[in-house]
């Protein structure tokens, strides 16, 4: 059973930084991807970034490109999302998720396991 646990959310001022972590366990294959999604109140879930384990390929949504960086530490089975130059519109609950597809997809239904989410609030 795949399990994902997010951490690292919190309150930060505009222009600040946060690093989210997604600790994963229970993988049975080396071919998978981990994605970060976010959902703000009253809005649809949005794909933010993803990374493919087998080849390290990544994807970023236009809204975060140049500000967010996704990375993985295979020894710790953890994927990170470094978020810099945060804006109030980045405020949302952030979720990490597992896809069995070895491709950089941000389609939510390609993901089969989800974490519980961590709140990120960007406000002065």
Helices (H), 26-111: none
- Write down the residue that tokens 């951490």 correspond to: 7
pLDDT tens for 58-72 read: 999 999 999 999 999
- pLDDT for 74: 85
30 has a pLDDT exceeding 90: no
Burial class (CB in 10 A: 0-12, 13-18, 19+), 110: middle
pLDDT tens for 35-91 read: 999 999 999 999 999 999 888 999 999 999 999 999 999 888 999 999 999 999 999
d(CA 28, CA 2): 9
User: What does R_g of the chain's alpha carbons equal in angstroms?
Assistant: 13
- Write down the residue that tokens 């309150």 correspond to: 11
3 has a pLDDT exceeding 90: yes
Average pLDDT over residues 24-33: 87
Chain mean pLDDT for the chain: 95
Q: How confident is the model at residue 27 (pLDDT cuts 50, 70, 90)?
A: confident
Counting residues of the chain whose pLDDT is more than 90, the rounded percentage is 83
- pLDDT for 28: 81
Counting residues of the chain whose pLDDT is more than 70, the rounded percentage is 100
33 has a pLDDT exceeding 90: yes
């Amino acid at each position: 059973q795949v399990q994902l646990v997010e951490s690292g959310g919190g309150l930060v001022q505009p222009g600040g930084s946060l690093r989210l972590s997604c600790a994963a366990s229970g993988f049975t294959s080396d071919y998978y991807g981990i994605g970060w999604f976010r959902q703000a109140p009253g809005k649809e879930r949005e794909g933010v970034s993803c990374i493919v384990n087998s080849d390290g390929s990544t994807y970023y949504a236009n809204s975060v490109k140049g500000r967010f960086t996704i990375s993985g530490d295979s020894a710790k089975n953890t994927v990170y999302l470094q978020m810099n130059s945060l804006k109030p519109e980045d405020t949302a609950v952030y979720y990490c998720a597992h896809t069995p597809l070895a491709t950089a997809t941000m389609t939510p239904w390609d993901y089969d396991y989800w974490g519980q989410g961590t709140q990120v609030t960007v406000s002065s």
